[in-house]
Amino acid sequence: MKTISTPVVVIGAGPVGLTAAIDLAWRGVDVVVVESRYAGEPPPVKCNHVSSRSMEIMRRLGLAPAIRAAGLPQDYPNDIVFCTTVTGIEFGRIQIPSVAGRTAPPSPDFPDSDWPTPEPPHRINQLFLEPILFEHAAKQPRIRMLNRFVLESITQSVDAVTAYVRNLDSSEVFEIQANYAIGCDGARSVVRRNIGAKFEGLAEITRNLSSFIRAPQLLGMIEKKRKPSWMSQAINPRRAGNAIAIDGKDLWLIHCRVKAHETDFSMIDRDRAIRDVLGVDDAFQYDLLGKEDWIARRLVADRMRNGRIFLCGDSAHIWIPVAGYGMNCGIADAVDLTWMLAGVINGWAPPSILDAFERERHPITEQVSHFVADLGVQLVRKRNEPPAGIEDAGERGDAVRDRFGREMIEMNVAQYCCAGLNFGYYYDKSPLIVYDGETQPPYSMGTFKPSTVPGCRLPHAWLPDGRSIYDLLGQDYTLIRFDQTLDVSGLEEEARASGFPLQLVDATDAAGTYDFPLLFVRPDQHIAWRGHTVPADAAGMIARLRGGWQGAGSGNINEAHSAA
């Protein structure tokens, strides 16, 4: 049997696996990626929303401009419209700026236009996103892509992981020897089963009959009635559903809600369901390009790690795509893990740093799954019970639609403008963070409060020269100093002497934005520590931040300073 050796093997080259591999390579780590699809084989057409937080990560990796340039045409409205049918009467609209429209000043009419970020969300289908990630990954000398290879099983010893993969063309089985493995192999993950992790939660919330279609007439028909939108949510007594614009021209994804008595997808007349959602007669022509039926669930793995093997993305969690956050949460898993793995492989962190991954990500994953599933259950109920008279002509119908439209906007704005999911989450029980007694601000799906409390994402600020503060951050840990009179040389010397990767950045221009003159920012842009002066126990703090928490830093580092 042929053997391939690598520090890290990533199983699955979906958006999460590709991001993990790219981030590891960027941090100087060699990676082998195992993927059963052909190189360039298109993914399913399901995912359409790249969150602001994911775009911030893509910015760091140099990929944000290419991603933002792809997807819908730059001036195509990203709005969400509520309507009787896709070509019927509009009764509500959540306005989201197009890419070009993002240059306009923030406005209350566009609820996500004033977000504190250099990278607003981006609506792009997975069909266009994945090739950008794949082509970038394939160009990295540190990444070896094994397309048409399927993982059959994975085992581990105290020292190493062994993945058995089969070449789908030759049937030859290879052995991959790695220090660590990341299972990014999606909902049916072989890795999850092999490490004994189990999905727990709600096996079914609702079903959707989904069809990828080419319909060149549709956009013109919509434009005769109203301004187009990225998503059109159709609600009528025949069939609720929605249409998502994929290329802003003739490609559409049509989700048709399955009714309670339709216990099997095969019971539904797909063509009738599509026409009922679109509001078109039998003369309307379209080509069915693919069937993408799915069951909405809320399932979270009971563990995200076993020894040297980790789970990220759909292998660890799947849920109803309310807020469009499955991939985005998976990308957040990946970049929480990759810098820790790089720390171990590059020699500046002990393996104990890796204990933080599950402690940080599992609670967030559980929390997001409840945010989206709770709202999902309410939305399903609401859409399945359209008010009487919703399609009536005249003033009576207008009054019904007006009221229902306002309710729909109110119920939905948080999921389409999910500031809390993007920026509100924090790590509150991490062994790698030096907490100081202040509690992180609570957040909801739609709201959050920027905060420097350790564990939170570094609040964003624009600098006077037009740069984002994120662009100043180093690849590893960064100490941001907003007051240059503060002496931080003790900390720098300690970092240098102990081989801890620390970059000092002076940002006096942004001092007014932050409540502490010193912020220690992790490689993933979360705050690890903050202070007014460097801690007296600099060695203890560095030991904690690099993951040597079992042996060091068990006391309160800030208290050590005040006592000094």
Positions touching ligand FAD (CB under 6 A) are 11-17, 34-37, 46-49, 150-151, 184-186, 190, 294, 313-314, 321, 324-328, 330
Q: Report d(CA 442, CA 120) in Å as an integer.
A: 22
- List Cα–Cα distances, 213 to 86, 209, 271, in angstroms: 14, 13, 11
How many C-beta atoms lie closer than 10 Å to residue 337's C-beta? 28
Place of tokens 């259950």: 377
Amino acid identity at 47? C
How many C-beta atoms lie closer than 10 Å to residue 500's C-beta? 21
410 Cβ contact list (under 8 Å, min separation 6): none
Cβ 379 to ligand FAD shortest distance, Å? 14
Considering only CA atoms, which of 230, 238, 227 is closest in space to residue 280? 238
Place of tokens 């009528």: 236
Considering only CA atoms, which of 51, 107, 99 is closest in space to residue 76? 99
E strand or H helix at 137: helix 126-139
- List Cα–Cα distances, 467 to 22, 63, 123, 470, 510, in angstroms: 24, 17, 24, 8, 11
E strand or H helix at 201: strand 199-214
Query: Strands 161-167 and 149-156: what pairing?
Result: antiparallel
Query: Strands 80-83 and 231-234: what pairing?
Result: parallel
Q: Report d(CA 265, CA 243) in Å as an integer.
A: 19
Which DSSP string corresponds to 299-354?
Answer: EEES-SEETTEEE-GGGTEEE--TTS-HHHHHHHHHHHHHHHHHHHHTTSS-GGGG
51 Cβ contact list (under 8 Å, min separation 6): 121, 324, 325, 328, 418, 421, 422
Instruction: Please give, one letter per residue, the 3-state secondary structure of 337-400.
Output: HHHHHHHHHCCCCCHHHHHHHHHHHHHHHHHHHHHHHHHHHHHHHHHHCCCCCCCCCHHHHHHH
- List Cα–Cα distances, 258 to 176, 210, 296, 383, in angstroms: 43, 10, 11, 11
- List Cα–Cα distances, 207 to 59, 245, 264, 294, in angstroms: 35, 21, 9, 6
Q: Report d(CA 386, CA 189) in Å as an integer.
A: 38
Q: Are 83 and 232 in contact (CB under 8 A)?
A: yes
Cβ 265 to ligand FAD shortest distance, Å? 14
CB-side neighbour CA atoms (13 Å) of 200: 10
What the block records as the tokens of 110 is: 């566009």
